[in-house]
Structure 1
Amino acid sequence: MDDRRLGSTGTRVSELCFGTWRFGRQTGGVLETDERQAHELLDAFADHGGNFIDTANVYGDPNGTSESYIGSWLAERDRSEYVLASKVYFGFDDDNPNGSGLSRTHVRNQIDGTLDRLGTDYLDIYYIHRWDEETPIEETLATLDRLVDDGKVNYLGASTMAAWQLTKALWQSDVNDYERFEVTQPLFHAGYYEDVEEYLSVAADQELAVCPYSPLAGGFLTGKYSRADPDDPKSVRAPDGSRASFDERFERFYLSERGWKVLDEVRTVADELDATPAQVALRWLMDQRGFTCVPIVGARTVGQLEENVGAAELSMSREQHDRITDARYDESGRRWGH
């Protein structure tokens, strides 16, 4: 993989970011990725030129397991060669009334635990995982600004929120001379654009990097699913053990008429390029023209990771890119429904 500049910062990152939300995660009592498998995946990512790794304090069972797996892997490597991102917001300690949110108390408590588990004295990027309705954004930004001053964090990031909330936070940073968000992490993929168009417009205008999570729509855009009923977009044939076979959110988040139309065009372009649908869907994101876009991929196996990394070698024409974009609309220009 080549590297690219992360938004308007001076930091350069690999074209893909490796997401580690499966590290230490248990689904239905089954451990998705243990420490040995996590290290194999991180080895493969690094061997392909990957340097950008994403985690959060609540990834894994118990909380913090993902960060600990990354920390034990980093212990054998040069920390300065990697760009590490983690997050804060969700409840870390259910018994602590201050164990969640973006208050000064919670943010300060969590940053030290994150750094300790990762075995480092600084984070490259610290995201707010969600917007906190109960804490004034000025309090959160002042606290994060101090973490940058203290050398514990290099850059700040914001994950899922409304466009007006992102705009308000940037404005507060400007008027108070606080460090501002430089990186964003929305849900964004080829079948899901208008839903976050205003958010992405803010990112483009403010030169913020965009690091989409779920860039393959939870696996839907890999092409491994097939439509079972032409009249029902929710009807799907899913391989045993796939996300659609056990995750009820899959139907709610990703199965739609619009999604199937986009997937059909992704498959067509993949055939034209002798590539896989996953590689085409990732390349579509990487080739966004309004902002730096670095998709976060989360593979279960080294084979899946190597397939995803293959998107970096893919060259897609403007015409092919636009066909995938336009697949969201019918012949009259109306967007296919969810």
Structure 2
Amino acid sequence: MQYRQLGNTGTRVSELCLGTWRFGKETNGVVETTRDEAHGLLDAAWEHGINFIDTANVYGTPNGRSEEFIGEWLTDHDREDFVIASKVYFPFDEDNPNGRGLSRKHVFDQVEGTLNRLDTEYLDIYYLHRWDEHTPIEETLRALHQLVEDGKVNYLGVSTMAAWQLTKAQLTAELEGLTTFDVTQPLHHAGYYEDVSDYLDVCADQDLAVCNYSPLAGGFLTGKYERADPDDPEAVVAPDGARGSFDEMFGDWYASERGWNVLDQVRTVADEVDATPAQVALRWLMDWDEFTCIPIIGARTPEQLTENVGATDITISEEQWDRIMDARYRSDGTLRGH
């Protein structure tokens, strides 16, 4: 495992980050990743050299269960070996009118709960999970700045939001003399049906690290799905047990004409370099040169994790990288610039 500088910070992280949103999460009454399974994945990740762990206060059922699983596992390890990130925004307590958003009150309350569940004195990264249109960004930034000053947070990050919101937050922090952001966490993968180029341009300009979630498009870019209808890009043939077989939103989120074009090229490159489509899709992200890109992988099993980690051992050429990028903009079988 190689380690990279996290954007403009002094911290080095593994080329891949372990995502834990499935830890303790119940779907249709079934826990997707139990405590024992979560600890097994954490063991496997650490054995592969992954030192970067991503979670959030609302991951798991009930909220906070993912953080609890990680905190329990960390008791048998040296906290200083790991870079741990969590998030704040979404409702934690539905009955509390102040139990959501990015108010000073909610941020301070939630960071204490997160630290307790993780059994740690500080977070390496604290993300704004979303933009809060009801709280002035200055209030949120001052609260976050205080957490950094108090040593409870090392670096600040933002997750999903518009490019203008990221720009406003960064500029406001600079003008007010407050701690700026160093890390972002957008939804970004090779086949995403929407362009996030404006957001990524801000990241490149500000030297922000990009720790993108859903790098394999919910499993779409692993190559295990096939097109069910040539006239309907959202119709997929999914193997039993795969996300697309039970998630009604899978087609809306991950399957598109762009996605199928990209998947075709990812499969071709995978054959050329003797790798799996998942490994090529991850390598494509890791090879962005405008900013540090650390994909967040959410493997279900140690075997899937091992396959994903294999992306760190393969090489794709600049020409192969460009072919995948060009496939994002293919129309009627032709290529156009990007």
TM-score higher than 0.5 = yes
The separation in 1 between residues aligned to 2:150 and 2:322, in whole angstroms, is 45
Report deviation, 1:192.
Answer: 2.4
Residue 139 (structure 1) aligns with: 139
Residue 306 (structure 1) aligns with: 306
Residue 104 (structure 1) aligns with: 104
* Residue 94 (1) aligns with residue 94 (2): yes
The separation in 2 between residues aligned to 1:113 and 1:253, in whole angstroms, is 32
Write the mapping of 1:154-233 to structure 2, written as runs, cut at 5 A: 154-192=154-192, 195-233=195-233
Report deviation, 1:231.
Answer: 2.0
* Residue 16 (1) aligns with residue 21 (2): no
TM-score of the pair, normalised by structure 1 = 0.98
Deviations 1:145-183 (A, max 9, x none): 000000000000000000000000011110111101100
The separation in 2 between residues aligned to 1:135 and 1:332, in whole angstroms, is 46
The separation in 2 between residues aligned to 1:228 and 1:215, in whole angstroms, is 23
Between 321-330 and 66-75, the greater mean CA deviation after superposition: 321-330
Residue 276 (structure 2) aligns with: 276
The separation in 1 between residues aligned to 2:2 and 2:22, in whole angstroms, is 25
> Do the aligned partners of residues 80 and 193 (structure 1) sit closer, same or farther apart at CA in structure 2, a change above 3 Å counting?
farther
Write the mapping of 1:115-126 to structure 2, written as runs, cut at 5 A: 115-126=115-126
AA aligned to 1:185 is Q
Give the alignment's Cα RMSD to 1 decimal: 1.1
Deviations 1:193-239 (A, max 9, x none): 86210000000000000000000001000000011222221221101
> Do the aligned partners of residues 227 and 193 (structure 1) sit closer, same or farther apart at CA in structure 2, a change above 3 Å counting?
closer
AA aligned to 1:128 is L
AA aligned to 2:162 is A
In the alignment, is the contact (CA less than 8 A) between 2:67 and 2:114 conserved in 1?
Answer: yes
The separation in 2 between residues aligned to 1:234 and 1:61, in whole angstroms, is 29
Residue 238 (structure 2) aligns with: 238
Q: How many residues align?
A: 335
Residue 148 (structure 1) aligns with: 148
AA aligned to 1:60 is G
Residue 261 (structure 2) aligns with: 261
Between 272-281 and 189-198, the greater mean CA deviation after superposition: 189-198
3-state SS of paired residue (1:127) = strand
3-state SS of paired residue (1:85) = strand
Residue 4 (structure 2) aligns with: 4
The separation in 2 between residues aligned to 1:54 and 1:81, in whole angstroms, is 14
**Unaligned regions of 5+ residues in structure 1, if any?**
none
Residue 45 (structure 1) aligns with: 45
3-state SS of paired residue (2:154) = strand
> Do the aligned partners of residues 193 and 141 (structure 1) sit closer, same or farther apart at CA in structure 2, a change above 3 Å counting?
farther
The separation in 2 between residues aligned to 1:45 and 1:306, in whole angstroms, is 8
Structure 1: which 4+ aligned runs deviate by more than 3 Å? 331-335
AA aligned to 1:43 is D
Residue 62 (structure 1) aligns with: 62
Q: Identity over aligned residues, as a percent?
A: 69
3-state SS of paired residue (2:86) = strand
In the alignment, is the contact (CA less than 8 A) between 2:193 and 2:256 conserved in 1?
Answer: no
Residue 289 (structure 1) aligns with: 289
Deviations 1:246-288 (A, max 9, x none): 1122111111111001000000000011100000000000000
The separation in 2 between residues aligned to 1:254 and 1:215, in whole angstroms, is 11
Write the mapping of 1:314-333 to structure 2, written as runs, cut at 5 A: 314-328=314-328, 329-330=330-331, 331-333=333-335
The separation in 2 between residues aligned to 1:204 and 1:333, in whole angstroms, is 25
Deviations 1:89-120 (A, max 9, x none): 00000010000000000000000000000000
Deviations 1:123-158 (A, max 9, x none): 000000000000000000000000000000000000
The separation in 1 between residues aligned to 2:193 and 2:78, in whole angstroms, is 38
**Unaligned regions of 5+ residues in structure 2, if any?**
none
